[in-house]
A and B are shown apart, each in its own frame.
Chain A
Amino acid sequence: MMKKQIENFLRTLGHPLVSFIISLGNLVLFVASAVYHALTPKYYVKNFLRQVLEMGFYSLPVVGLTTIFAGMVIALQTYSGFARYGAESAVASVVLISVTRELAPVLSALMVAGRIGAAMAAEIGTMKVTEQIDALVTLSTNPFKYLFAPRLWAGLTVLPVLVLFGDVIGIFGGYVVGVYKLGFNPANYINSTIEEIEAIGIISGLTKAAVFGFIIALMGCYNGYHSKGGAQGVGQATTNAVVSASILILIFNYILTEVFFSK
């Protein structure tokens, strides 16, 4: 009786563990293959440019709105918190540091993961279940080079540009609240911001953006490519792409912060 219970317990524990290890192995193989094909010819430049447009240009409004409000909120919160200690003058520098190091990269990446990661998984998943990916192979075209490599390159290169744009918009949001709502002198606010600009802050934010962009594209491609069945499978792949990309973004945000700023 006891032996049976232990056996059942181990089976219950073992099945998800084995599934997890298999999934992890598949992911590692997929990443290795995707990176190899992204670095070796043939390159589909037109597909890359299409992804740049989709992932970059069309994401500008979302990133702009996200970062401007994030900058505005940070200015307000910092002012209300720091006023207790008479440190209101630190608002400009806090906005700068918060936006460039954390808010612009992380929030932009999360928004792009929702917008692009989901679309990528849905598109590739639909191609998978309607045999379009098989059709590519029969037309002597490697799906890793034709579909995945352009997306990975686009993720890697476009998100830093988006985040740079988000940095400017977010800081502008803080400026608007600081000057028009909290009554800071515009020239002083701008001077404080410029004085606080540090290369490490900007570089760390852009590096994070590149890593997050790669993660978004990777999760979109991986989950789409492994979708099974019909509409339900594609829906599941879409959800998985967004959730896994979001979690990985938060984990890698900590790791990269540790790399750049731990002493």
Chain B
Amino acid sequence: MSEVKISIRNLHKTFGTKQVLKGVDLDVFKGQSLVVIGGSGTGKSVLIKCIQGLLEPDFGTIEIDGVDVLSEKTKSHISEKMGMLFQGGALFDSLSVWENVAFSLIENKGYDRQVAKREAVRVLRQVGLAPDVADLSPSELSGGMQKRVGLARAIITKPDIIFFDEPTTGLDPIMADVINDLIVESAKGLGATTLTITHDMSSVRKIADRVAMLYQGKIIWQGTVKEMDKTENPYVVQFINGCAQGPIKVEV
């Protein structure tokens, strides 16, 4: 068995009276691509934000390389190991494309701006964007290009762990496939561990080494993509086939 990179135990998170995570237990192995699937509002984003320290869980533990990430002392050290591609890109609109990509290099690693720009242009090329995009503003880019810039920003520091939050949402199927390919290439190239949350099944089949399903605040099933296709778990079967009928009731 591979080494555990991220270990989550008994994770709980409540907002007001709504209990979103009700005891999540999950392991992500080193170098593995884990995709968490689940319907809208099941707590996928909350889970990923808890791991990154953007939300504080009510209780439970999260360890990365055996280190407790919820401790204040280790938070900043741990965050340097991570990269994140946000659902909407979350590019800083006050900065140009290359400044977005090179943000960590300039602000945290003290790179000279010219050197940082050269590195940003190199990574932009890696994700399929021409150098002349570098000086544009994020608002001048299409949705697909913004995702690529977000991906470039996530991988420029060569993180150990990369998180992808609904990476293909809002993209046409062809662009979604291009982004999926880029995610796989980038992660394999860096040897990074990745955790993706999505409900796009074509994305799951392309990206995942393992799949976990989150339902009603708990991981109810996990396995490989092949196992997912053969499983008789009624929740997974309903979800991957996109059926309205089944044990998962959609609140209308």
What residues of chain B lie closer than 8 Å to A140, measured between beta carbons? 76, 79-80, 104, 108
Interface pair A130/B108, CB less than 8 Å apart: no
> With A139-B108, A140-B108, A141-B108 in contact, is A134–B79 under 8 Å at CB?
no
> With A130-B90, A140-B76, A140-B79 in contact, is A135–B84 under 8 Å at CB?
yes
The CA of A136 and the CA of B93, in the complex, are separated in Å by: 12
- Of residues 178 through 228 on chain A, the ones whose CB sits less than 8 Å from some CB of chain B are none
- Of residues 102 through 126 on chain B, the ones whose CB sits less than 8 Å from some CB of chain A are 103-104, 107-108
- Judge whether B39 is part of the interface by a CB distance below 8 angstroms: no
> With A134-B49, A134-B54 in contact, is A139–B107 under 8 Å at CB?
yes
- Judge whether B53 is part of the interface by a CB distance below 8 angstroms: yes
- Of residues 212 through 251 on chain B, the ones whose CB sits less than 8 Å from some CB of chain A are none
Interface pair B107/A137, CB less than 8 Å apart: no
Interface pair A138/B83, CB less than 8 Å apart: yes
- Judge whether A7 is part of the interface by a CB distance below 8 angstroms: no
Interface size class of A (residues with CB under 8 A): 10 to 19
What residues of chain A lie closer than 8 Å to B76, measured between beta carbons? 140
Interface residues of B (CB under 8 A from A): 49, 52-54, 76, 79-80, 82-84, 86-88, 90-94, 103-104, 107-108, 153, 163
Most buried by B among A134, A140, A146: A140
What residues of chain A lie closer than 8 Å to B54, measured between beta carbons? 134, 137-138
Interface pair B104/A139, CB less than 8 Å apart: yes
Interface residues of A (CB under 8 A from B): 123, 126-127, 130-132, 134-141, 146
> With A131-B90, A132-B92 in contact, is A138–B84 under 8 Å at CB?
yes
What residues of chain B lie closer than 8 Å to A138, measured between beta carbons? 52, 54, 79, 82-84, 163
Interface pair B104/A134, CB less than 8 Å apart: no
What residues of chain B lie closer than 8 Å to A141, measured between beta carbons? 103, 107-108
Q: Shortest beta-carbon distance, A22 to chain B, in Å?
A: 12
Interface pair B108/A135, CB less than 8 Å apart: no
- The chain B residue sitting closest to A127, CB to CB, is B92
CB contact between B87 and one of A127, A131, A132, A146 (< 8 Å): that residue: A131
The CA of A204 and the CA of B35, in the complex, are separated in Å by: 61
What residues of chain B lie closer than 8 Å to A135, measured between beta carbons? 84, 86, 90-92
The CA of A123 and the CA of B95, in the complex, are separated in Å by: 13
What residues of chain B lie closer than 8 Å to A130, measured between beta carbons? 88, 90
Interface pair B52/A137, CB less than 8 Å apart: yes
User: Top 6 closest A-B pairs, CB basis?
Assistant: A135-B90, A131-B90, A138-B84, A140-B79, A139-B104, A131-B86
